[in-house]
Chains A and B, each alone.
Chain A
Amino acid sequence: SQTIHQWPATLVQPVGSPLSLECTVEGTSNPNLYWYRQAAGRGLQLLFYSVGIGQISSEVPQNLSASRPQDRQFILSSKKLLLSDSGFYLCAWSSLRGAEYNEQFFGPGTRLTVL
């Protein structure tokens, strides 16, 4: 069965510090991978998605970047955190079922507080 891991679970960082959040998926190959941010208002904002190694699509221009160094690894980074980067970060994956992509499955999330 497939599982998705995210770490750390919680993080408190000062403004201006760097960030690295990691997401890994097990039990599937060549998944689509996604990073979302959920701010206090509950809505989910798609930040990045990747259809393969080294392929990153950015949905929102911002202080963050993403990389996919391996098939099942997706990393969210920042060189200098802003207060507005605080939120709940969720990683998700989906894969092809026949000719269709199936639903997205989400990781447990990382709660980031920037002070």
Chain B
Amino acid sequence: AQKVTQAQTEISVVEKEDVTLDCVYETRDTTYYLFWYKQPPSGELVFLIRRNSFDEQNEISGRYSWNFQKSTSSFNFTITASQVVDSAVYFCALSEYTGNQFYFGTGTSLTVIP
């Protein structure tokens, strides 16, 4: 069965600190996709990144970076030098190869304190 676990329910950091959001997944598929979404207070989910199971290269986009490790079934997200605008709920998700179903974690609420 597919499952995504985000063990951190809430995290608070002071502005400019680095923060890592954890994501652990379970799947029996050999081909799958992993995603991170951001949900600001407005409610709309904003797509951040998509990773396919064959690509374990870490990715960096500005202050955001992602560490995908198949050996530990983890896809962690790091925000460097956090800013108040980073305050949001962040969701990790997994989809099967067909892409018909997404399995979301329960989200991590990040608060960046000025």
Contact = CB atoms under 8 A, between A and B. Distances in A.
A94 interface: yes
Interface stretch (B22-30, B66-74, B76-84, B99-107): B99-107
Interface residues of B, number: 25
Nearest to A51: B100
A88 interface: yes
B104 A103 contact: no
A42 B43 contact: no
A109 B44 contact: yes
A87 to B, nearest CB: 11
B91 A44 contact: yes
Contacts of B44: 106-109
Contact of A88 (B35, B43, B50): B43
A42 B106 contact: yes
Question: Majority SS of interface residues in chain A?
Answer: strand
A105 B47 CA distance: 7
B47 A104 contact: yes
Contact of B100 (A32, A41, A105, A109): A32
B45 A90 contact: yes
A114 interface: no
Contact of B104 (A43, A49, A57): A43
A94 B33 CA distance: 13
A32 B96 CA distance: 14
A56 interface: no
A41 B47 contact: no
B100 A103 contact: no
A59 B101 CA distance: 10
B98 interface: yes
B3 to A, nearest CB: 12
Interface string A21-63: 0000000000010100000011110100101000001010000
A55 to B, nearest CB: 11
Given A49-B101, A100-B52, 10 more contacts: A41-B106, A43-B105, A44-B91, A49-B100, A51-B100, A102-B99, A103-B35, A106-B37, A106-B45, A111-B43
